[in-house]
Amino acid sequence: MTDTTVTKVSSAHSPTGDQGEVYLASGKRLSMRMWRDEPPSQNKPAHRQDYEVVGYVIAGRAELEIEGQTVRLEPGDSWVVPAGSQHTYRILETFTAIEATAPPAQVHGREQT
């Protein structure tokens, strides 16, 4: 049987996480979230998560450090943070990006960073 569920999520009415992320559509195997107009910041504490993240930069610039490698992110760039990898980031210029996580990093019951 095919899943006929269609979900539309308006970001204007989406829940937000503790760090300002906006939670967008979420399916059974992946979810999306948006970081909108994040101000410049120093490195966040390095951490690991049990889900994979892929992202796309809409505006701004940041540096992503994964397992000792530093990658500069600019508009039009995309990235991958493998599940279980230690990483941190620094926002260099007001930053807007979309991320997809698999399995879902949802508002309820999951690590949100």
51-100 pLDDT, tens per residue?
999 999 999 999 999 998 999 999 999 999 999 999 999 999 999 999 99
Q: pTM for this structure?
A: 0.84
Range 70-79 burial, b when 16+ CB lie within 10 A, else e? eeebeeeeeb
In the chain the domains, ranked by start, together with CATH numbers, are 16-102 (2.60.120.10)
Strand partners, 79: 55
Q: pLDDT for 18-64, tens place per residue?
A: 888 899 988 888 999 999 999 999 878 899 999 999 999 999 999 99
DSSP E strands, 8-77? 22-26, 31-38, 52-66, 69-73
Q: Which two tokens stand for residue 112?
A: 């949100």
